[in-house]
Structures are given as structure tokens and as C-alpha cells.
Copies of this chain bind each other. A is one copy, B any other.
Amino acid sequence: MALLGAIEGGGTKFVLAVCDEDMKIVDRQSIPTEDGEKTLDAVIAYFDQFEDIKAVGIAMFGPIDINPESKTYGRVLDTPKRGWSGYDFMGRMKAWRDIPYYWTTDVNGAAWAEYKTGAVKENQSMVYLTIGTGVGAGIINRGHFLAGYGHPEAGHIMIQKHPKDDYQGHCPFHQDHCLEGLASGPAMAERWDMTAKELPDDHIAWEIEADYLAQAAVDFTVILRPDKIIFGGGVPHRENLLPMVRKAFADKFRNYLATPDFEDYIVPVSTGDNAGIIGCFYLAQAKLAEEE
């Protein structure tokens, strides 16, 4: 039976999975993230169990080199994460089995799952913004991942500080000047001495959080003109957040340009917790089709 593989590489755990031709998950396992070499030992031991894997989609925490023309394509770039800087991820996989691999970022993997299974049409544009331990974005422009000199790291756009916020910020690079520094889960936890999950619905934290996410939505709208902005990650699990983001977006954007109805424009994820591996399966399938 022909199988496809998925590797969702996160900072704390790797999720490995295999599906059949109908995209049905056959097996799934989570392993702790260690250094590059040890983690890949475990990845390969896992996939060794399956004879007939035709292609693998890999959605890996960044920064990674995704430029096929670069000499370091397929490697992990400089990262504070121990044992990963420069690690030749794709080289190791290719040495294991020389099959097609789709290599992209973790947020792109999840974005692709939304793109294929959510309410986005072929050839439309989409931003998938995840707000969890970090803030990241997968951007799809008319069916293709946006990328240039490298992949986007759109969690670090500049943000206007809310007048009621005197937090010093959580980004090691940009302190309280960027979205990740002001709006990530750890930023909320440090600012309020309570995790995002614990903060009550009527806490001012949510007004401030919605303000920041709405600013991001304005920037994405005027630069990218997406058909949808999808909010993923742990923090948007809070159900009252997106309605507040829509309202703050309306206040800031002032109907400056045509957009889809806000209810269809600023939306939660639809794929849920398996998004990363589902995206990888679709990307593996696409890569396979392309090479055949």
C-alpha cells in the first residue's frame, strides 16, 4: 500500500505520522525534540517501520533554508536551539531514502492544511497567523507560499503600543516593538502574572490583545490583500477573542479597502490539532505528483 509521511518539527516535540492514499492517518507518534542528530535518529527509526513511503512532507521550526538555489538548502539556519544550527535535515533524510520531500516551515505546514481543507478556494490568498509560544505566519499568495530572500517571520511586524499597556515586551530582538513581543502567550503570562488560558474573559488583557492582532490584520490586509486571515495557535482558543479582533479591525481599518465580510475574513482555524501533519500529507502528495 502506498503511504505518505509527515514530520511536524516543533521546538518541544516532533509529530511523526503516516497516511494512506486516501489521506487516512495510519499511524502517528510524538517524540521529544532533542538535538538535530538525535532527533533525526528517532525520526528515521520511526519511518523505518514503513516500507512503502512514497513521499514525506516536512514542516519544521525555523529559521530554515528553503531556497532551492542555495548551497545550504534543506538545512536549519542559525538558531539559539542547541544542536540545530546548520543541521542538514534534508541531507539526512535523502541519505536514508531518496524519495521526494517537501520542505517548508511549521507555520506553512499548518497554513497548507487550512488552504486545502478550509474555506479557501484554489488560487486565493490567505494568511495563517498562529499565536502561541511564538507568533508566526504562513502566507499563501494565489496558491503558492510567499517567500523571497528567505521565509517570512511575520510575527515580528512593528506594532503600536496600546495606551493602557506598560509591559516591557517579550521579544529578545524587538522587546515591546513587535507583535510577538507584545501578543504571544508568554508575553501575556509575564505581563499579567497569569497564563493566557487563566485570564478571565472580562480582563482588559483581551482588549489589548485584540488591538494588537487587529493591527496585524490591517497590515496584512493592505500589504497582501488576502481572501482570509486565519487565526491559529493556543491563544485564539479563547472564543471571545476573534469577535473583539473583528471589532478592533473595523475601528482601525475604517473600511479603507474592500474586504470579504469580516465574519468570513477574520476566522479561526478549521483543521484543529492535526493541522500540521495534514498539511504535510498534502504537501507530500503535491511533491509526488510534481515529480511523477
Q: Is the interface of A mostly helix, strand, loop or mixed?
A: loop
- In the complex the two chains form, is A218's CB within 8 Å of B158's CB? yes
- In the complex the two chains form, is B223's CB within 8 Å of A224's CB? yes
Residue of B nearest to A150 (CB): B225
- Asked if A86 is at the interface of the complex by the 8 Å CB criterion, the answer is no
Min CB–CB distance A147 → chain B (angstroms): 6
With A159-B158, A260-B149 in contact, do A139 and B225 touch (Cβ < 8 Å)? no
CA distance A151 to B222 in the complex (A): 8
Proximity bits, A169-195, B CB within 8 Å = 1, else 0: 000011001000000000000000000
- Asked if A203 is at the interface of the complex by the 8 Å CB criterion, the answer is no
- In the complex the two chains form, is B149's CB within 8 Å of A256's CB? no
Proximity bits, A58-100, B CB within 8 Å = 1, else 0: 0000010000000000000100000000000000000000000
Which of these, B146, B149, B177, B255, contacts A258 with CB under 8 Å? B149
- In the complex the two chains form, is A146's CB within 8 Å of B219's CB? no
Which of these, B148, B156, B157, B160, contacts A125 with CB under 8 Å? B148
Instruction: For A177, list chain B residues within 8 Å (CB).
Output: 160, 252
Q: Which residues of A contact B (CB under 8 A)?
A: 63, 77, 124-125, 137, 139, 141-142, 146-161, 173-174, 177, 215, 218-220, 222-227, 252-260
Closest 6 CB pairs of A and B: A125-B148, A148-B225, A173-B254, A149-B225, A173-B256, A158-B215
